[in-house]
Amino acid sequence: MTNGRLYYVMGPSGAGKDSVLGWVREHGVPLGVVCAHRYITRPALAGGENHVALSEQEFAAREQRGLFVLTWMAHGLRYGIGREIEHWMNRGADVLVNGSRGAFADALKRFPNLQPVVITANVETLAARLGARGRESQAEIDARVARSAAYAVPPGALVIQNDGSLAHAGSLLLDTIRMRHAS
């Protein structure tokens, strides 16, 4: 049995990563591909992605016991990817995770054969989506958009432009996974 591959999805805030991944889950992840949940120190009903909500204390306890393969902090929250993905990959499953650009180097060290996936959108779309959330000031939105524009896409990354319909972006990701998983 061959080991599975990690699809490490990342991109700027407002690009629609959670929406695209949700669309992929709803429209037929291929047999042999598993979508991993993130563990986040954010309440379960806070909106956004379907995640495993942990208190700061629960997160710290799991981290101390080595139950995460990756962790990072962003926007005042702790994020983790559970060690269970290693088991899944060792059993031949390809795994799709919602990662972070900031944790990409650590992910690449741990999983050198991972497939980077960058979901992005043009600056106007990013700014409009971030503004519609109503969670940040215009200065904070401008800083996020500028950070996105300065980001260098990793070599070999699959880039999905999510400016149009969610179905189009989701289909691109799903079709790529199906093609690579079948080979």
Q: What pLDDT is recorded for position 108?
A: 96
Q: Is 108 exposed, middle or buried (0-12, 13-18, 19+ CB in 10 A)?
A: middle
Contact 70, 36 (CB under 8 A): no
Q: Which residues contact 38 (CB under 8 A, 6 or more apart)?
A: 49, 51, 52, 79, 80, 81, 97, 98
Give dist(CA 72, CA 176) in Å, integer: 27
User: All domains of the chain, ordered by start, with CATH?
Assistant: 6-39+93-182 (3.40.50.300)
Q: What pLDDT is recorded for position 99?
A: 94
Torsions phi, psi for 143 (to 5 deg): -65, -40
Torsions phi, psi for 51 (to 5 deg): -130, 170
Nearest residue to 111 via CA among 131, 134, 127, 90? 90
Q: What pLDDT is recorded for position 105?
A: 95
Q: What pLDDT is recorded for position 48?
A: 62
Q: What pLDDT is recorded for position 181?
A: 64
Which residues does the chain have with pLDDT short of 70?
1, 46-49, 181-183
pTM for this predicted structure = 0.89
Contact 27, 132 (CB under 8 A): no
